[in-house]
Chain A
């Protein structure tokens, strides 16, 4: 197999592969920075929770309108925002911490979603919603993915400074009259939006992987925020491209291939990362603490 056949021919030959590639790259552009902020805010599991929370919305839309991307996206968006708002209200009004209130709502939400799909849909439909079909990304889906990626990057640019400060020292920002809550809320909306965009291509469960794995990997390489963002983006984009190739050549499902590729990047970072990687700390110990 020539390098051309290995690395590019699938995209040259098949429109569906080109669609899938552009869609996944767009998704990676939005998901990587979102994931990084989730890690920095110690909200890694909130992304997971939210991915489950959008399920009933998508399911209801699916039952009513059939397999319509627009309807399912709007349904998922509404369900996600309801959970964000409800969890936020609970956190402010009771002594439950944010992760606990999120967990409670997403579990209820997930159970309702599974119930809805199994009662009125079929197992195939459920698998489709949970794991997506990146190879069925059509023009509408592509436009939606591109819109979400653009909106994510623009909004992040706008709230960047407030979001960084709010992640670092929320009470300080509040004491300065900094309205960090707005940045926080805008950020949560972006999380939901990217997960909804992701579930068509990768499925609700897999979309979280494209957020968290590149972000967690980047933490092991860089020490400043711009570098972290760059590395997370690079890993996410590479994972999308390599994962799709892997899925094509080995005839494997594309979503898991993309996430596992990101997973490999994570394990490499764990081992070789220059900041807290295992090799580095073992070698460093031997030298410094002798």
Chain B
């Protein structure tokens, strides 16, 4: 692994990251706190997403995973702390929302849905060139939907629909790609094909950050993992983050979620599971 020197760290306070060369970090979080409808959802998270690497964000429901992605893409403003995109422009970041957020029976053709990926170039009035249409067809071929451009979206299965959204991401051609639960409720074949697309992005040196639930997918395709449960439980190489003790701790934090908590409480975090393993990884 190229970034073996980044050990997973448990976060109990704010850390500096002076030991990380600046070029390695695509996106830095410094004491980041996010709220949703004035409810704190992500607390005091510090760390960095490695450039050109695939990072999984895992954690229990309500852990703030989707909220963090929304902040990264600029849909949410940080309430506290810093979000440093390190020179990335909005156009460099592509975002795939959860499928539930999208109207699936919308009267668009597959090709038109893929062409939405060219929004930044085309905008409200811009022309869709022949070259762009060709790109859309190529993207469809890459996700295994060659020749289906004329189909209406509402005739697609859930798996085919997700393939269309991946083709749209391909058209966006972004350096950083954010995926919110991209493989939830998909069949095995579609998941495998789309994971191959993700592997392609990694090979091209793009940064991929995905909210995931399946630890096997994470272990096999995402070298880095951020374990989130409102706070950052651990962040580093996947093999060191996805340990039973840490996962148990993440679930413990989620259970303590207080729906009426008016403000951030740093001390709402339960005491860490004090295993020797944890101490061994603690690099601060």
Contacts and interface: CB of A to CB of B under 8 A. Distances in A.
Instruction: Report if A and B associate in a common complex.
Output: yes
Interface of A: 40, 42, 94-95, 158-159, 161-162, 164-165, 167-178, 222-225, 228
A171 B107 contact: no
Contact of B102 (A168, A176, A228): A168
B124 A159 contact: yes
Contacts of B215: none
Interface stretch (B14-22, B108-116, B196-204, B271-279): B108-116
Contacts of B107: 40, 222-225, 228
Contacts of A167: 103, 106
A176 B119 contact: yes
B108 A164 contact: yes
Q: Is the interface of B mostly helix, strand, loop or mixed?
A: mixed
B125 to A, nearest CB: 7
Contact of B103 (A94, A158, A168, A175): A168
Contacts of B102: 168-169, 172
A169 B37 contact: no
Given A175-B97, A177-B90, A225-B107, 15 more contacts: A42-B103, A95-B37, A161-B122, A167-B103, A168-B102, A169-B102, A171-B101, A172-B102, A175-B75, A176-B119, A178-B123, A223-B107, A223-B152, A224-B107, A224-B108
B99 to A, nearest CB: 10
Contact of A171 (B97, B119, B154, B155): B97
Nearest to B98: A171
Contacts of A228: 107
Contact of A177 (B108, B116, B120, B122): B120
B205 interface: no
B95 A162 contact: no
Q: Is the interface of A mostly helix, strand, loop or mixed?
A: helix
Q: Which of B97, B102, B103, B107 has the most CB of A within 10 A?
A: B107
Interface of B: 37, 70, 73-75, 90, 93-95, 97, 101-103, 106-109, 113, 116, 119-120, 122-125, 152, 154-155
Contacts of B70: 171
Contacts of B97: 169, 171-172, 175
A161 B119 CA distance: 10
Contacts of A178: 119, 123
B266 to A, nearest CB: 25
Given A168-B113, A223-B152, A40 B120 contact: no
A219 to B, nearest CB: 8
Given A159-B124, A161-B125, A175 B73 contact: yes
Contact of B106 (A162, A168, A175): A168
